[in-house]
Chain A
Amino acid sequence: MIKKRNHDRKTNSDGSTPSIILIGNPNVGKSVIFGLLTGRYVNVSNYPGTTVEISRGKIALTGKIDGHKMKEVSIVDSPGVNSLIPQSEDERVTRDMLLREKPHGIIQVIDAKNLKRGLLITLQLADMGIPFMVVLNIYDEATERGIEIDINRLSSLLGIKVIPMVATERRGLGDLKKGISKLSHLQRKTKKITKFDDRIEDAIDRLAPLLPGANISGRSLSLMLLSGDDHLLKYLEDHGNDFEIDKVREIISKTRNFFRDPITYVIQKGRQAAAGDIVNECFHYDERQKISSVSKRLGDLCMHPFWGIPILVSVLYIMYKFVGELGAGKAVDFMETVIFGEYLNPIVIKITETIIPVSIIREALIGEYGMITVGITYSVSIVGPIVGFFFIFFGVLEDSGYLPRLTIMSNKIFKRIGLNGRAVLPMVLGLGCDTMATFATRILDTRKERIIATLLLALGIPCSAQLGVVLGMVGGLSGRVLLIIIITVLLQLIIVGYLASKIIPGRSSYFMIELPPMRIPKLSNILNKTYFRVKWFMKEAVPLFIIGTFILFLLDKSGLLVKIEHLASPVVTGVLGLPARATEAFIVGFLRRDYGAAGLFLLAEKGVLDLIQITVAISVMILFVPCIANFFVIIKEQGIKRAILMASFIMFYAILVGGALNIILRYIHILN
């Protein structure tokens, strides 16, 4: 159904395939347009040396246009940026792509209603000299708001092709394709639309001749250098012969010192003025049409200080129903017991038993801790459906515009623990799968924030697999037990988060997020996104689960598992007041947190545990060291040293809290 195709990672300029880069502000529908152009033939990868993901694909343009025979064009989707002067990793990647990938052309996507902000990038592209065109996307929303844009005027002011589009409805796609085929035949030409302050123009005139030839015009490179882009300076030094870096540095510093404002601000002011002039000429806004639409009212309610809370609770409840009950319950059941339990595993076991004579290898594959019967089965049949259902839900939240509003509702709480509202994204993801969520901490801006979020995820965010078992186990017992567990865990998140924010050096970033209007999500877009995300997750996580199982197998076979149990059981019985048999549940819980919970469940069913013991055991289980796959991801993202430090802290802290909880509960007689 879905074909895989291998593509060259590099889109080279001298090859036969012209390459085109999609550029635009965040939330303008670039990815939708990319999807429309390329279909499923996409290759998602990290940009070399970064955590930023970019997608590459190809389109075949058929037929003849203007006498040119059409051929394949390769398209690269870049991360959304507000400026081409790098301030964030995303922006640096986009700038690097323009510099290094040597594109034949650029398609800039602009949210039509936010024309002015888009123009700030358009003006930067015009300075670069690479042929480009502009797509005014989400044109319908602009029209609804009473905005009229004189496309022809805009096109002639900028000297490029401008195409109105509604990508989600495929409107304008034909024009875009025609435009692309013409784009690859255009010549490079710098369009000097912005007139900067004389001092800056003067500096550009003096800098440009000193710079080595690059894919970007000297004017544009000079502006970037003036803005303090030191990465670029290094790049130019490496790529130019006789590059007079000292002379360049001198011009830069002299020009910068002249202004009392930061020079980036002066340059941006110049562009703002130029963009303002263009907008005044071709952007008409009819105030009367500004109606309070349903979408706007809903959007307001979602971030209302009062109504936002019941909405938030409902969203979480629906998520629990959809991901927890449907995904983690029904879908997992079906995958695990029917697909794997009845069909796949029996076959695999049979095959393995016939072709592999050595029993130890057989056991490693299909035994109690077998890589196939446990490792693969677990990751595909349990984590797979949960992650899939979760991503569908997450996609709906994303595309509907609710997600950024959720960050507003939670900003205050997260500020207390050294994070900001954006951290709600990995935290919510963590309720699906902590392993996946730990990857998602990348969206946080500073190192400090990523460490705190990773720590808190590992400490106190129960994944859906675990939540299911815990809720099932506690639900039948007593509301109080559940309440105490929830309070205990939340309290630890706040305490540890607060302390971590004080102790961990570095700074937290400021909260600044754009709120796109609420929209009705397109199912096809969500399914498409979910497909790529699940594929990515499986590629990253399945090997980790297999390695994890194998390690457990080794521990078991070598007898170390029993030894660890012996070592740990005094702590479990003495400090936590639990029966020695609970030790095994904790250790196995390291492989699968829900297995651990299920192990406790069995003990409780046999009547070995009283209410206090259940409460303590589950609290510790939730707080305890994350599953082994999560631990591997922490190593991958944070390095082995920090990962071990975190794991040791969590282990110690979980036992400490469990011990304290045990003493308190015995003392205050709430449960006995």
Chain B
Amino acid sequence: MEKDKKYEENIELIGVHIEEGRVKIEDILDHDITREEIISLKERGIITIDAEKVHLTKDGREMYNLIIRRHRLAERLLNDILTIKDESSSEAQACEFEHFLNTDVTESICTLLGHPTTCPHGKPIPPGECCSTKRREIESVVYSLDSLDSGENGRVAYISTHDHSILDKLSSMGIMPGVSIRIHQKQPAIVILFEETTMSIDFEIAREIYVRKES
């Protein structure tokens, strides 16, 4: 178990480095990983090393996506639902969390959170099977605004967008956590009502606003 944990953490470490564009071995070695461990990942077919640069193999990429998905979902859960705001403790918790989540539990959390697309830091959460099928076996706590039906109300829990300009636009219009939004119609475009404002927004934006349903 302990060994597996380290193994997963190493994949995660390398994956995050690659995601950020730092692919040289020396960049990665600065962290809590030894050259031997990197070599062993190579032998297990997780990575390839080409001129001191590390790349994930197809298998490695899949492994990494699973691990990072668990990690970032855990962050969302801790941050948005359990509202643990302390950065260092929630980060550490998320690290512990990711190792004992099996696929079913991961999918349940993902569904519970309304299939979020980014972590609280704005990094992408790779979609799992539950995100594409959108199975509704488990009742979500938080829904993305576009999944509400016409006439339903939701109070904004958080806005998860990679694009700061959208966040700024929404917040200057008055759409912020705590604001109650009603879906007026969904076709031909989403029209929402909040306070005394009627507004139309793209599905892509509605997808990034997460709400708790209200009656």
Asked if A514 and B176 make an inter-chain contact with CB atoms under 8 angstroms apart, the answer reads no
> Does A262 make an interface contact (CB < 8 A)?
yes
> Does A566 make an interface contact (CB < 8 A)?
no
Asked if B174 and A120 make an inter-chain contact with CB atoms under 8 angstroms apart, the answer reads yes
Q: Enumerate chain A residues within 8 angstroms of B187, measured Cβ to Cβ.
A: 305
Q: Enumerate chain B residues within 8 angstroms of A404, measured Cβ to Cβ.
A: 200
A303 and B173 contact, Cβ closer than 8 Å, known pairs A85-B168, A260-B121, A510-B166: no
> Does B81 make an interface contact (CB < 8 A)?
no
> Does B195 make an interface contact (CB < 8 A)?
yes
Asked if B169 and A82 make an inter-chain contact with CB atoms under 8 angstroms apart, the answer reads yes
Using CB atoms, name the residue of chain B closest to A86: B168
A511 CB contact (under 8 Å) in B170, B171, B196, B202: B202
Using CB atoms, name the residue of chain B closest to A511: B202
> Does A58 make an interface contact (CB < 8 A)?
no
Number of A-B contacts (CB under 8 A): 111
A116 CB contact (under 8 Å) in B168, B174, B205: B174
A512 vs B192: C-alpha distance when bound (angstroms): 11
Using CB atoms, name the residue of chain A closest to B166: A510
Asked if A305 and B164 make an inter-chain contact with CB atoms under 8 angstroms apart, the answer reads no
B199 CB contact (under 8 Å) in A87, A145, A265, A512: A512
**Interface 1/0 per residue, A484-526 and B, CB below 8 Å:** 0000000000000000000000000011111111000000000
Q: Enumerate chain A residues within 8 angstroms of B120, measured Cβ to Cβ.
A: 260
Asked if B189 and A421 make an inter-chain contact with CB atoms under 8 angstroms apart, the answer reads yes
Q: How many A residues, CB 8 Å from partner? A: 41
A265 and B168 contact, Cβ closer than 8 Å, known pairs A82-B173, A513-B199: yes
Choose the segment among A161-169, A351-359, A407-415 that binds chain B (4+ C-beta atoms closer than 8 Å).
A407-415
Using CB atoms, name the residue of chain A closest to B121: A260
A117 vs B87: C-alpha distance when bound (angstroms): 31
Q: Enumerate chain A residues within 8 angstroms of B167, measured Cβ to Cβ.
A: 262, 264-265
Q: Enumerate chain B residues within 8 angstroms of A268, measured Cβ to Cβ.
A: 168, 171-172, 176
A120 and B172 contact, Cβ closer than 8 Å, known pairs A305-B187, A511-B189: yes
Asked if A113 and B199 make an inter-chain contact with CB atoms under 8 angstroms apart, the answer reads no
A117 CB contact (under 8 Å) in B173, B188, B202, B205: B173
Asked if A513 and B168 make an inter-chain contact with CB atoms under 8 angstroms apart, the answer reads no
> Does A7 make an interface contact (CB < 8 A)?
no
Q: Output the least CB separation between B163 and chain A (Å).
A: 8
> Does B204 make an interface contact (CB < 8 A)?
yes
Q: Enumerate chain A residues within 8 angstroms of B201, measured Cβ to Cβ.
A: 510-512
Using CB atoms, name the residue of chain B closest to A264: B168
> Does A304 make an interface contact (CB < 8 A)?
yes
A262 CB contact (under 8 Å) in B164, B177, B189, B195: B164
A113 vs B196: C-alpha distance when bound (angstroms): 6
A114 vs B173: C-alpha distance when bound (angstroms): 10
Q: Enumerate chain A residues within 8 angstroms of B195, measured Cβ to Cβ.
A: 114, 116-117
Identify the interface centre among B164, B188, B199: most chain A CB within 10 Å of its CB. Answer: B188
Q: Output the least CB separation between B157 and chain A (Å).
A: 14
Asked if A272 and B199 make an inter-chain contact with CB atoms under 8 angstroms apart, the answer reads no
A515 and B196 contact, Cβ closer than 8 Å, known pairs A408-B191, A411-B189: no
A265 and B188 contact, Cβ closer than 8 Å, known pairs A114-B197, A408-B200: no
Q: Enumerate chain A residues within 8 angstroms of B205, measured Cβ to Cβ.
A: 510-512
Asked if B172 and A260 make an inter-chain contact with CB atoms under 8 angstroms apart, the answer reads no
Binding site secondary structure of chain B? mixed
Q: Output the least CB separation between B195 and chain A (Å).
A: 6
B198 CB contact (under 8 Å) in A260, A264, A305, A515: A515
Q: Enumerate chain A residues within 8 angstroms of B185, measured Cβ to Cβ.
A: 300, 303-305
A411 and B197 contact, Cβ closer than 8 Å, known pairs A82-B169, A85-B168: no
Asked if B172 and A83 make an inter-chain contact with CB atoms under 8 angstroms apart, the answer reads yes
A338 vs B198: C-alpha distance when bound (angstroms): 49
Q: Enumerate chain B residues within 8 angstroms of A409, measured Cβ to Cβ.
A: 188
**Interface 1/0 per residue, B88-129 and A, CB below 8 Å:** 000000000000000000000000000000001100000000
> Does B132 make an interface contact (CB < 8 A)?
no
Q: Enumerate chain A residues within 8 angstroms of B173, measured Cβ to Cβ.
A: 82, 117, 512, 514
Q: Enumerate chain B residues within 8 angstroms of A512, measured Cβ to Cβ.
A: 166, 169-170, 173, 199-202, 205
Q: Enumerate chain B residues within 8 angstroms of A515, measured Cβ to Cβ.
A: 191, 198-200
Q: Enumerate chain B residues within 8 angstroms of A305, measured Cβ to Cβ.
A: 185, 187-188
Q: Enumerate chain B residues within 8 angstroms of A264, measured Cβ to Cβ.
A: 164, 167-168, 171
A432 vs B179: C-alpha distance when bound (angstroms): 42
A300 vs B168: C-alpha distance when bound (angstroms): 28
> Does B215 make an interface contact (CB < 8 A)?
no
Asked if B176 and A272 make an inter-chain contact with CB atoms under 8 angstroms apart, the answer reads yes
A411 vs B165: C-alpha distance when bound (angstroms): 21
Asked if A272 and B174 make an inter-chain contact with CB atoms under 8 angstroms apart, the answer reads yes
Q: Enumerate chain B residues within 8 angstroms of A116, measured Cβ to Cβ.
A: 174, 195
Asked if A114 and B196 make an inter-chain contact with CB atoms under 8 angstroms apart, the answer reads yes
Q: Output the least CB separation between A145 and chain B (Å).
A: 7
Q: Enumerate chain B residues within 8 angstroms of A147, measured Cβ to Cβ.
A: 196
Q: Output the least CB separation between A294 and chain B (Å).
A: 16
A352 vs B199: C-alpha distance when bound (angstroms): 58
A299 vs B204: C-alpha distance when bound (angstroms): 24
Asked if B202 and A420 make an inter-chain contact with CB atoms under 8 angstroms apart, the answer reads yes
Using CB atoms, name the residue of chain B closest to A305: B187
A600 vs B192: C-alpha distance when bound (angstroms): 50
Using CB atoms, name the residue of chain A closest to B198: A515
Asked if B169 and A87 make an inter-chain contact with CB atoms under 8 angstroms apart, the answer reads yes
> Does A269 make an interface contact (CB < 8 A)?
yes
A510 vs B197: C-alpha distance when bound (angstroms): 19
Q: Enumerate chain A residues within 8 angstroms of B168, measured Cβ to Cβ.
A: 83, 85, 87, 262, 264-265, 268
Q: Output the least CB separation between B78 and chain A (Å).
A: 12
Within 8 A of A (CB), among B5-35: none
> Does A308 make an interface contact (CB < 8 A)?
yes
Asked if B191 and A510 make an inter-chain contact with CB atoms under 8 angstroms apart, the answer reads no
Asked if B200 and A82 make an inter-chain contact with CB atoms under 8 angstroms apart, the answer reads no
Using CB atoms, name the residue of chain A closest to B186: A305
A117 vs B204: C-alpha distance when bound (angstroms): 23
Within 8 A of B (CB), among A288-309: 299-300, 303-305, 308
Q: Enumerate chain B residues within 8 angstroms of A142, measured Cβ to Cβ.
A: 196
Q: Enumerate chain B residues within 8 angstroms of A511, measured Cβ to Cβ.
A: 189, 200-202, 205
Using CB atoms, name the residue of chain B closest to A227: B168
Asked if A412 and B188 make an inter-chain contact with CB atoms under 8 angstroms apart, the answer reads yes
Q: Enumerate chain B residues within 8 angstroms of A407, measured Cβ to Cβ.
A: 200
Q: Enumerate chain B residues within 8 angstroms of A513, measured Cβ to Cβ.
A: 199-200
Q: Enumerate chain B residues within 8 angstroms of A85, measured Cβ to Cβ.
A: 168
Q: Enumerate chain B residues within 8 angstroms of A82, measured Cβ to Cβ.
A: 169, 172-173
Within 8 A of A (CB), among B29-77: none
B204 CB contact (under 8 Å) in A300, A408, A510: A510
B188 CB contact (under 8 Å) in A83, A308, A510, A516: A308
Q: Enumerate chain B residues within 8 angstroms of A514, measured Cβ to Cβ.
A: 173, 197-199
Q: Enumerate chain B residues within 8 angstroms of A421, measured Cβ to Cβ.
A: 189, 200
Using CB atoms, name the residue of chain B closest to A409: B188
A404 vs B201: C-alpha distance when bound (angstroms): 12
Q: Output the least CB separation between A411 and chain B (Å).
A: 5
A62 vs B192: C-alpha distance when bound (angstroms): 47
Q: Output the least CB separation between B214 and chain A (Å).
A: 15
Q: Enumerate chain A residues within 8 angstroms of B189, measured Cβ to Cβ.
A: 303, 408, 411-412, 421, 511
* Known A87-B168, A408-B189, A412-B189; further 10 A-B contacts with Cβ < 8 A: A114-B196, A142-B196, A145-B196, A265-B168, A305-B188, A408-B191, A510-B201, A512-B173, A512-B200, A514-B173
Shortest 10 CB-CB contacts between residues of A and residues of B = A82-B172, A83-B172, A305-B187, A113-B196, A515-B198, A268-B171, A511-B202, A117-B174, A408-B189, A411-B189
**23 A-B residue pairs with CB within 8 Å:** A82-B169, A83-B172, A87-B165, A113-B196, A114-B174, A114-B195, A120-B172, A120-B174, A264-B164, A265-B168, A268-B172, A269-B171, A272-B171, A407-B200, A408-B189, A411-B202, A412-B188, A412-B189, A421-B189, A510-B202, A512-B201, A512-B205, A514-B199
Q: Which residues of A are at the interface with B, using a C-beta cutoff of 8 A?
A: 82-83, 85, 87, 113-114, 116-117, 120, 142, 145, 147, 260, 262, 264-265, 268-269, 272, 299-300, 303-305, 308, 404, 407-409, 411-412, 420-421, 510-517
